[in-house]
Chain A
Amino acid sequence: MTTQQSRKERIDRGIKVRSDGLYALMSWRELTYLTLPRFILIAGMLALPFLVPGMYWQRVISIVCIYAILALSFDFLAHYVGLVSLGGAFFIGTGGYIAGILNSYFSIPPFLTVPLAAIIGGAFCTLLLLPCLPLKGVYFAIVTLMYPLFMARIIEAFDIFGGTDGLVGIDSFSSAFLEQYFVICMVLIFLFGIRRFVTTDRGLIFTAIMDNDQAVKASGINITRYKALAVFIASAMGCMAGGCLTHIYMWSGISQFALDFSILPIAATVIGGSGTLVGPLIGCLILVPVSELLRDFGTLRIVFYASILVGFILFRSDGIMEFGQRKYEQFERWTNI
């Protein structure tokens, strides 16, 4: 007895194949097919402040962007360099405190403190993480998980920078409009910048380090230097996000080292699609507003992210972005075997 068996096969759409090589762009249709997703993303992000109602949700947009920058730095570090950093809060906290200190002790305006926080904070984080750079996989993750806790303890123990109260009375951005466009532009610049960067020669070395560091070492390339560079890029992004956060809330304190900043970007990356760079942004656009809606439930929010995270890791480990890309580029049909 035989039963009819069939399987699903996926075939690239004709238009995708035609528009794959840039020289083959023959029509407006192909051009549109190629640029439409990118255009929707950019235009959508830029239009976002006008689309949402009220001050409260406009503030949420800024928070989304801050998490998106952090998630982007996690994605870059984990899937293009092979260093899984569980310490997003370390970057946010360092950047936040540096911006806060520069602003409240030296009264430097926000437009200088944010870039300064990115550079100084990036250098600081890289310096502290330098001893751990030879580590791989689990070991790096464990050590980075501890850094934010460590920093919070130190600030508490020495009672510096306002101790447990934090630094208060920090200047905000001059207008809400400016604040939102600043963070949105930063997200877009980082997103496309990193996408470009990972295909350059340096980016290829990063990927090679992830795949086989011994081989890279054997080719006479100093892998620690490259890893330090990657950590600097990622932590500068995180610190910039932290600096923006400080100026948005006009406050920097120990809770910037809290777990929220470590777990949410990871959850967003997994949901959006790890290794796609756009995925983290999409993940943040979904997760952060939902978490705002759940604000009344307190710590149940974290339970919520964590369960979504586990669910996606188990059942949909490729994420939304990969899924969408597959639908956009390929069609499926059942064939008989």
Chain B
Amino acid sequence: MEILVYGTINSVSLALMGLGFAMIYGISRVPNFAHGALYIICGFVTWTLFYQFGLPYFISIILSLCVNGILGMIMYRFILIRVRGMNISEIIASYAIGLAILEALRYGGFRGMNYTLPVFMEGSLMLGGVPVDFHRLIMMVIGVLLVAGLWLFTHYTRLGLALQGMAQDERAALMLGIDSDLMAMLAMGFGAVLAGIAATLILPLGNIVVESGYNVLIMSIAVCIVGGLGSWMGAFFAAFIIGYAQILTVVFIGSHFQMVVALLAIILTLILKPSGLFGHQKELEERV
């Protein structure tokens, strides 16, 4: 029962991390290696607004999400747009931006154990004999709602459909009057906001440390590769597979091996089914 409950929670948090990466890659085909940095920066902005400026918690979260979205759009508009379509440069540029942000934060003194965000709601609840605190439950609910909301957004709104059209075929979308650069910029903004949402939901459970930025990047890439890059639903299901696998390793082998599971999952997926669980044949061609 413990495995079931904590496995689900872990899976949802992985899905939250991976969604943003999957969205950006799916729409603009830019692998956003600065994802982990966006995640961490949102945590720090929230922390600064909440503690240094004394704003209410909810408002500081909303503000930091906005900051994150704008940051993502700026990053796309001024830097990544110039290298779009050049694989090597895209990776190096976004990775370098992420690295610069993370290391600048580390230099700025944000390290150690004393940066924490408060949880949304104190207290806990017994779920089938396992104590689960309210915050984790809220996180799960929001995570599931977010996925459902994203699905509705991309299937039933004009903007969502435009984004989806661009994900399917950029040239055809251009012919139908969809501004691909604008859409890619928006996608980057949405991806950054998703990273921020993940941060505000997950970070209160632990400390805000710069190192976790790298871990988030790795985990989100793992989730996306296993699920098939560019497929959001794939990322969601892959999060459950990796999430449960991790909890099982922690329970039966040891907590040191969590990251090993993720890497093994990636390598096995790439060998056995390179397009991922939900990837399409078209992506297979690009990949192998």
Contacts and interface: CB of A to CB of B under 8 A. Distances in A.
Interface of A: 78, 84, 86, 131-132, 134-139, 141-143, 145-146, 149-150, 153-154, 156-157, 259, 263, 266-267, 270, 274, 297-300, 302-303, 305-307, 309-310, 313-314, 317
Nearest to A213: B288
B161 interface: no
Majority SS at the chain A contact face: helix
Nearest to B100: A306
Contact of B104 (A78, A142, A153, A300): A300
B274 A156 contact: no
13 contacts: A84-B88, A86-B91, A131-B267, A138-B87, A139-B229, A142-B225, A143-B270, A145-B218, A150-B260, A299-B106, A309-B96, A310-B79, A310-B97
A270 B88 CA distance: 11
A136 B103 CA distance: 29
Nearest to B104: A303
Given A303-B103, A313-B83, A134 B214 contact: no
Given A138-B91, A314-B79, 11 more contacts: A132-B270, A135-B287, A153-B259, A157-B254, A157-B256, A157-B257, A263-B95, A266-B92, A306-B97, A309-B92, A309-B96
Interface string B87-121: 11111110111011001101100000000000000
B221 interface: yes
B256 A156 contact: yes
B69 to A, nearest CB: 21
A298 B107 CA distance: 7
Interface in B265-288: 266-267, 270-271, 274, 286-288
A299 B101 CA distance: 11
A321 B45 CA distance: 41
Given A84-B91, A137-B286, A310 B266 contact: no
A131 B100 contact: no
Contacts of A299: 103, 106-107
Given A143-B270, A310-B100, A86 B95 contact: yes
Contacts of A141: 31, 91
A317 to B, nearest CB: 7
A302 B99 CA distance: 7
A303 B107 contact: yes
Contact of B93 (A143, A153, A310): A310
B171 interface: no
A168 B179 CA distance: 59
B100 A154 contact: no
Contacts of B263: 146, 150
Majority SS at the chain B contact face: helix
A46 B99 CA distance: 35
B155 interface: no
Interface residues of B, number: 39
B250 to A, nearest CB: 12
Most chain A CB within 10 A, of B83, B88, B92, B257, is at: B92
Contacts of A298: 107
Contacts of B95: 86, 145, 263
B93 to A, nearest CB: 5
Nearest to A128: B267
A12 to B, nearest CB: 28
A132 B267 contact: yes
A300 B107 contact: yes
Interface in B194-224: 214, 218, 221
Contacts of B91: 84, 86, 138, 141
A150 B263 CA distance: 7
- The 5 A-B residue pairs with the shortest CB-CB distance in the complex, in nearest-first order: A157-B256, A306-B100, A306-B96, A302-B103, A137-B87
A314 B90 CA distance: 10
Nearest to A131: B271
A146 B92 contact: no
Contacts of A300: 103-104, 107
Contacts of A267: 96
Contacts of B257: 157
Nearest to B29: A138
Contacts of A78: 88
B83 A302 contact: no
Most chain A CB within 10 A, of B88, B254, B257, is at: B88
Most chain B CB within 10 A, of A86, A139, A305, is at: A139
B79 to A, nearest CB: 6
Contact of A297 (B107, B221, B225): B107
Nearest to B98: A306
Contact of B260 (A137, A157, A305): A157
A7 to B, nearest CB: 23
Given A154-B260, A298-B107, A300-B104, A313 B270 contact: no
A274 B92 CA distance: 12
A139 B92 contact: no
A311 B97 CA distance: 10
Contacts of B79: 310, 314
B27 to A, nearest CB: 15
Contacts of A153: 256, 259-260
A293 B172 CA distance: 52
A181 B209 CA distance: 42
B191 to A, nearest CB: 16
Contacts of B104: 300, 303
